[in-house]
Chains A and B, each alone.
Chain A
Amino acid sequence: MQTQKVEPTIDDIPVPLRVAGPSTQCVHAGEARQKMADAITDAICCSSTYTFESTKSVIDFIEQKQPREEYGRYGSPNEKVVERKLAALDNGEDAIVFASGMAAAVGLYMAKLNAGDEIVFFDQCYHRSREFCSKHLARFGVVTRQVPTGDFIAMEAAINSKTKMLVSESPTNPHLTVIDLEQFAALGKEHKVETMIDATLASPYNIRPLDYGVDYVWHSCTKYLGGHNDLLAGSIVGSKEKLESVRNLRGIMGGINSAHNLYLLERGLKTFALRMERHNQNGQAIADFLIKHPRIQHVYYPGLSSHPTHDVAKRSMRGFGGLITFLVKDADWRKTADVVDACRISRIGPSLGGVESLIEQPLVMSYFNYPPEQRAQFGIPDNMIRMACGIEDTQDLIDDLAQALDS
């Protein structure tokens, strides 16, 4: 019989790792120093259930709340490692991983909101987040109020005694507006309303919203954190106390991730800081290239001084990520599609944050079934292209875009 090893908690990260640089944290944080079988990597533990030595040990587990596994839906060893690493990267106390980014957001909303409650969110956001809030939370009697992105006066005006949560992306998708998180968190605190930031496009390498007083950070880990376009995962990071109800509900609703996926996520996280550095470099270089190009009407990228929220981005972010949105000059939807189709390196596809560059036309990919008026309202013109830079050589990506724009 092997002796039961107690799983380390986030507090067990060796002190040097708590203050370590981001790349050291990526490689080591959250992992036990000495692992099962003395292996250097964590084992993939596929077990759906966990056995107890005796009835006494079941009772001990229940009475003493021992930190051990019970049934896969409540947690697993691979999940715990990833959660500790994600918490460390975001400087949070705890993290909860879900089956996808959307499952994470839904997990948080369902745990925190009741019929009659209200949430206020900035209107630039992933179309499925908007859809879930406006169509589905409404079915459960939750009122959602959209206000113009970055308009704190409008957000404050929309808060009332029923408001339970303020929500925003930062940077937003696809306009890449960066939110002043200090102001955002302060507004929530002033009105005793919790705040949540979807920081998927920034990633914890570029900004850590909890440091600004935000209550919850939401990530689609499918993107930069996983980084290889080969897994789906989502996470919520925050304080242990606030996340307890989210974890309990997840155990019942079951939107957990699998051991294989979680292993790939842990492996992807090892190079996360390194990859982000390169995504940032590629994003900036391509934005600089596009803004000078005669066929380009407009470039949305927070790293450009022309971007409306460049100052707040510069003040708060380490880099500005690999996502760039731009408008092709004098192009209808078909001519815009021709540019997308002419790319040889970037593949056409939704998603972002992987090593492979992806490109898409929001009109076609996400808003094809919306009427023109509604697209105008969401700020999705026909000539808009969104490019998610991977980590390929910068010059290859620039050359590829150049030939696509010339053709």
Chain B
Amino acid sequence: MKFRTRSIHVGAEPDPATGAVVPPIHTATTFIQPGAGEWGKFDYSRSGSPTRNQVEKTIASLEGGVGALLYASGMAATHGAMMLLKAGDHVVAGSDIYGGTYRLLHKILNRSGIDVTLAPAHDTQAFQAAFQANTKMAWIETIGNPLMTIPDIRAIADYSHSRNALLGIDNTFATPSLVRPLEWGADIVMHSATKYLGGHSDCLSGALVVGDEQLFKDLYFTQNATGAVLGPFESFLLGRGIKTLDLRVREQSRTAMLIARWLEQHPKIKRVLYPGLEEHPGHELAKKQMAGVYGAMITFEVDGDLEATKRVCQATNIFGLAVSLGAVESLIEQPATMSHASYAAADKVRFGITDGLIRISVGLEDPEDLQADLMQAIDAGMA
């Protein structure tokens, strides 16, 4: 079955008890066992629940993994992966990563004696140069946040493996609809499923997917032991959202391409960072890895200071001023003051999080409506 058909049917098999085409939401926290010391398929819902497991099966199928685990949030998922590490280990992470991941690496994992070095993932050589003898994990994003840089997944996977390190990759921006990093050699795929997978701004959730049985068992052990699992109602909403994932991502990507091209021509826009544009330094790689569809996240830099940039973000009528992304509603935000506020001031400068940057998440609205809204907001903010 093809991707879209799997997203609707795998894991969502009709309920055998009732024939319900949409499986029931199982809210049970505990399950009656066949006997003392004998265990049924489910025992306690932290260890596994029918509704969560169904959606895990769907996501594993979409990413081409042996199994998936759902967490209470994207950060819980990232943390779930990082708990494979121990004191004395080292992580090399991309410099263009989500501010929350930056915070986890620098302010939480450091307390457990785990070191981190940031390096540009889109510059394979520089990234490799950051490896140390104790590097056990490389962590990158399929599309960097917020600068939309594109890493060579295969090259980084091969190098990580040659150094006995795992490659974890945050595939939130691209989604399995556009790229399946396990096929390019990554070991762990992470999602903030809150974004495109859920797609409706209404369920916080995270996922890890792996292609190796032993790795799956290790992650499952940690998840069960630490407990940040996804609840049944969120699992249901997530599974429901995934059914339209492919339609949404492709449509939103089409609209994003139109908007990126239009922004590029706008006299008040200094640069547009979108991997679909030929001028984007990662364009060729993105074309190869993402099969010619480039996602619906765009960052652009206005020709103005922090205040002018703020004004643009605040002047839209359709785009909502909010962090998060990947939903049917278009959103706009200023990385310097919002999604990447966790970056230390020096790192902001070092990694190019400038005051004039604006990041948009292109939603499902009609392209003309979004373009008109951006046009009036830029005019109003930069007047």
Contacts and interface: CB of A to CB of B under 8 A. Distances in A.
Contact of A391 (B202, B247, B365): B247
B364 A23 contact: yes
Given A20-B369, A27-B365, A228 B248 contact: no
The 3 closest A-B pairs by CB, nearest first: A21-B366, A24-B365, A393-B2
A32 to B, nearest CB: 12
A230 B233 CA distance: 13
A27 B247 contact: no
B4 interface: yes
29 contacts: A16-B318, A20-B365, A20-B366, A21-B365, A21-B366, A21-B369, A26-B328, A26-B364, A40-B320, A40-B322, A40-B327, A40-B329, A41-B200, A41-B201, A228-B240, A229-B22, A271-B248, A274-B251, A278-B247, A349-B21, A354-B21, A355-B244, A356-B8, A356-B9, A390-B8, A392-B2, A392-B9, A395-B2, A396-B2
A233 interface: no
A24 B21 contact: no
Nearest to A349: B21
Contact of A356 (B21, B237, B318): B21
Contact of B247 (A267, A274, A354): A274
Contacts of A345: 1, 5, 9
Contacts of B373: 16
Given A16-B317, A41-B201, A27 B8 contact: no
A391 B12 CA distance: 15
Contacts of A175: none
A30 B138 CA distance: 46
Nearest to A26: B364
Interface residues of B, number: 37
A2 to B, nearest CB: 21
B262 interface: no
Interface of B: 1-5, 8-9, 12, 14, 19, 21-22, 200-202, 237, 240, 243-244, 247-248, 251, 317-318, 320, 322, 327-329, 363-366, 368-369, 372-373
Interface in A307-338: none
A264 B233 CA distance: 12
Contacts of B247: 271, 274-275, 278, 391
A271 B243 CA distance: 11
A28 interface: yes
A28 B327 CA distance: 12
B259 to A, nearest CB: 14
A391 B369 contact: no
Interface string A215-236: 0000000000000111000000
Interface of A: 14, 16, 20-24, 26-28, 33, 40-41, 228-230, 264, 267, 270-271, 274-275, 278, 345, 347, 349, 354-356, 358, 390-393, 395-397
A27 B363 contact: yes
A358 B19 CA distance: 13
Contacts of A358: 21
A380 B242 CA distance: 37
Contacts of A274: 244, 247-248, 251, 364
B12 to A, nearest CB: 8
Contacts of A275: 244, 247
Contacts of B200: 41, 267, 270
A229 B364 CA distance: 22
B1 A23 contact: no
Given A14-B317, A24-B366, A271-B328, A228 B322 contact: no
A159 B14 CA distance: 47
Contact of A267 (B202, B365, B366): B202
A142 B307 CA distance: 68
Contacts of A22: 366
A373 B5 CA distance: 40
Contact of B5 (A27, A230, A392): A392
A40 to B, nearest CB: 5
A356 to B, nearest CB: 6
Nearest to A351: B21
A397 B2 CA distance: 10
Given A27-B365, A356-B8, A41 B244 contact: no
Contacts of A349: 19, 21
Contact of B329 (A27, A264, A356): A27
B366 A393 contact: no
A393 B373 CA distance: 33
Contacts of A264: 240
B243 A355 contact: yes
Contacts of A24: 318, 365-366, 369
A23 B365 CA distance: 5
A275 to B, nearest CB: 7
B8 to A, nearest CB: 5
